[in-house]
Amino acid sequence: MLRLDKFLCEMNIGSRSQVKTYLKQGFVTVNGKPVTKPETKVDENKDTVAFKGKPCVYRRYVYYMLNKPQGVVSATQDNECATVTELLKDTGYKDLFPVGRLDKDTEGLLLMTNDGELAHDLLSPKKHVKKVYYVELDKPFTHQDAFRLKEGIDIGECKKTLPASVELITENSIYLTITEGKFHQVKRMMNAVGNHVTYLKRISMGSLQLDETLGKGDYRELTEEEIENLKQREL
């Protein structure tokens, strides 16, 4: 059970003060009857709450797939650069945040949600969630380079990276699968084998695959199947 004003706030109808005004104006009904008291209790799973005649289907958590473009930072706010949350401002949800980070010049899959528990699981080092990147390189990538990455490589930290998986596409492009999320990790791994990343795009995270029909900067809600797969830890 939730207070009606809390329910409406979580549905992004407005701020707490705005919601109280809407209630006084008779804009809200519960099971077809006008309700004006903000403290009224509602069962978010059974009661039918409507705002200006439009039913409010309760969803505490929402999940969006964003095809992040270059030039945008993976943050909720930044004093100098555009952020990924600004790209999703039309959703009506103000509490969305990116699950993990992609560098400013990196494109591709970024999960945006307000589900902190799921985000924690996906980012936990103990979970070893697989992340796949499409990488273009300045120099030809060799089988010896691939072997070194599969064995773990020194990128200037206390421990080597965990074993990575490499699929060669062309002599200057690969698919790289890693299970960590260290700062600039892919770029540092390529530098460690004497190469340089010229283009980087994340194409999957766990069970979630980038929808290639999404243009750069576009987003969509996850399907129920995609959400369920993530929550089942099918990673």
Query: Quick one: pLDDT at residue 90?
Result: 84
The C-alpha atoms of residue 181 and residue 205 are separated, in whole angstroms, by 11
Sign of CA dihedral 83, 61, 181, 137: negative
If we measure between CA atoms, which residue out of 56, 52, 62, 45 comes closest to residue 1? 45
User: Would residue 103 show up in a list of annotated catalytic residues for this protein?
Assistant: yes
- pTM assigned to the model: 0.84
Query: Quick one: pLDDT at residue 234?
Result: 45
Query: Quick one: pLDDT at residue 91?
Result: 85
The C-alpha atoms of residue 189 and residue 196 are separated, in whole angstroms, by 9
Instruction: Single out the catalytic residue among 95, 103, 138, 154.
Output: 103
Residue with structure tokens 């407005």?
A: 14
Query: Quick one: pLDDT at residue 233?
Result: 58
Q: In the chain, where do the E strands start and end?
A: 2-3, 28-30, 33-34, 41-42, 49-51, 54-55, 63-68, 97-98, 107-113, 131-137, 165-170, 173-178, 197-205, 208-209, 219-221
Query: Quick one: pLDDT at residue 75?
Result: 95
Biggest CA–CA distance in the chain, Å, is 71
The C-alpha atoms of residue 189 and residue 27 are separated, in whole angstroms, by 57
Supply the DSSP string of 169-219, one letter for each residue.
Answer: EETTEEEEEES---TTHHHHHHHHTT--EEEEEEEEETTEE--TTSPTT-E
Can you give the pLDDT of all 235 residues of the chain as single tens digits?
999 999 998 888 888 999 999 999 999 999 999 999 999 999 988 999 999 999 998 888 999 999 999 999 999 999 999 999 999 988 878 889 999 999 999 999 999 999 999 999 999 988 999 999 999 999 999 999 999 999 999 999 999 999 999 999 999 999 999 999 999 999 999 999 999 999 999 999 999 999 999 999 999 999 999 999 999 854 4
Helix/strand/coil (H, E, C) string of 27-43? CEEECCEECCCCCCEEC
Domains of the chain are 2-55 (3.10.290.10), 61-127+212-235 (3.30.70.580), 130-205 (3.30.70.1560)
Tell me how far CA of residue 199 lies from CA of 15, 25, 143, 167, 174, in angstroms.
42, 54, 20, 16, 11
Instruction: Say which residues have a Cβ less than 8 Å from residue 1's Cβ, sequence separation at least 6.
Output: 41, 42, 43, 44
If we measure between CA atoms, which residue out of 159, 161, 205 comes closest to residue 180? 161
